Structure 1
Amino acid sequence: MQENAELLAFLLQSVKGEGRNAIKAMLSRGQIAVDGKTQKVFNFALKPGQTVTVSKERIVEAPPLIGLSILFEDDDLIVVVKEAGLLSIASDQESELTAYRQLNAHVRLTDPSNRIFVVHRLDRDTSGVMMFAKSERVQQELQNTWQNTVKERTYIALVEGQVKKQEGTISSYLKESKTLKMYSTSNPTDAQHAVTHYKVLQSNRNYSLLEVSLETGRKNQIRVHMEDIGHPIVGDKKYGSKSRAIPRLGLHARLLAFLHPSTGKLVRFETDIPKLFLNPFKDGFIPK
């Protein structure tokens, strides 16, 4: 361009066959660049010698992720933090927003043939770190070698009552009832062995905050085992909780460390303890 001008005025003069509203829309959609840099400000001051580029292609912006944030992404994996309340994956018949559905849309922005594959799940009301594979090969490899590949899998659990034993291990066989509730049994027939280790981080008369590590990853394992020792997870009505000290389930997948399927290197993803979980240990706390 030859002289000083505001971007919108320059475009109205230079772009033939497009009205004022159409050009404004192109600006807001990121179709205008100044010296190769996208510019959306209508009154951006142009200087002589600058190059203005108009793209007829509409820029596709990634939809915002809801209840989800990406910690890490490469050609093989996506590691995310899921908020409590978001479903990991739904059945084909359900149209509910899920982590799986949102991440599928995310990877298809770069290539419509891309998709993601479920490696493991978190319950809807459990928050924390989880990962998805970007190919069936990586998914199968991770699932088939899960016990050896995953080096650390640590949860934070807010439970009812004061856990007297500072450290402990709970071991049982888990089965599922006809009402889809998991329960512990000493009979290994048609059941899955489950081992949970815990350590008390903080406690008072009414609540305990535990660090829980899984030796096995069974459905609802921590929830069942906490009920088994008489300290159900806060907010977990299904597994014996009577308390609503916080407005959600008191379970958070804090840490996931594993050997990367392609590089073989140990990767580690850790999140903070949810602030809500610390409320019962503050002076003046009144449980709901």
Structure 2
Amino acid sequence: MSLLIHSMSEFSDIILHGLQIAGARNIAEVGAEFGGMSQQLAAYARVAGGSLTSIDPAPKAEFLAWARQTPEVRHIAEPSHDAMPKLSDIDAWVIDGDHNYYTVINELRIADQIARRDGRPLLALLHDVSWPCARRDCYYAPDRIPEEHRHPHSFEGGVSLGQPGCLPDRGFRGAGSFAWALHEGGPRNGVLTAVEDFRAEAQTEARPLAWAHVPAVFGLGVLFDSSAPWAPALAEMIVPWHNNKLLAALEANRLRNYLAVIDWQDRTAEAA
């Protein structure tokens, strides 16, 4: 069995309960990877009599094999900004794609435009709203980000707790599969910053959006229209998890241990 320390599927109980409270049937997912969360969303949609649209330009082979034999699943092999505007009648958005400011704020803008056009309250569930992507961009495909919105970045450098810069050949890094922005913090940098700026945009239109942040496994964010008929019930469910101090302490401990293992592996490789 593969070991994933970052899967959104760890939040499946919260996510599926939230979808049930909102009466969601048709779900759009951005980012499939191996399909762990996709399978649970599809099972939910099947029972609800709905569908799952999964957007990922390059998912893993395991996902593709599963999706081909799952009738309620439609896979769109395009970047999110290209695929999302083509959708309609979406009740909830599960966003776990490219973890950077430009991608995420525009995914939220598109989801909001579609929700308002179709007369649906916005419900978006986002991964990676905690460290390391909360205040630092991560790029799987930097060439898709316009230059003026792209921070200086490195495919080789790594990140570590309490280190605002990028460490050469140390820390949590993508080994060529993804790049980190060279600096943490500042304007238009990171997933949580994108959520905050999007909420500020909605506030200027007198459309307050409720927000909850579950501080575990790189962070789950739940963003929803506070005027939706199901909003009070969803808020009641999610509030105990919001900024939960115990979860945050456990996550900090998990990250310290994870980074210690990476450091041990690096030192062992150097000694060899």
On whether the aligned pair clears a TM of 0.5, the verdict is no
Under a length normalisation based on structure 2, what TM-score does the superposition of the two structures give? 0.33
Higher helix share: 2
The one of the two structures with greater contact order (alpha-carbon pairs below 8 A, sep at least 6) is 2
Larger radius of gyration: 1
Higher strand share: 1
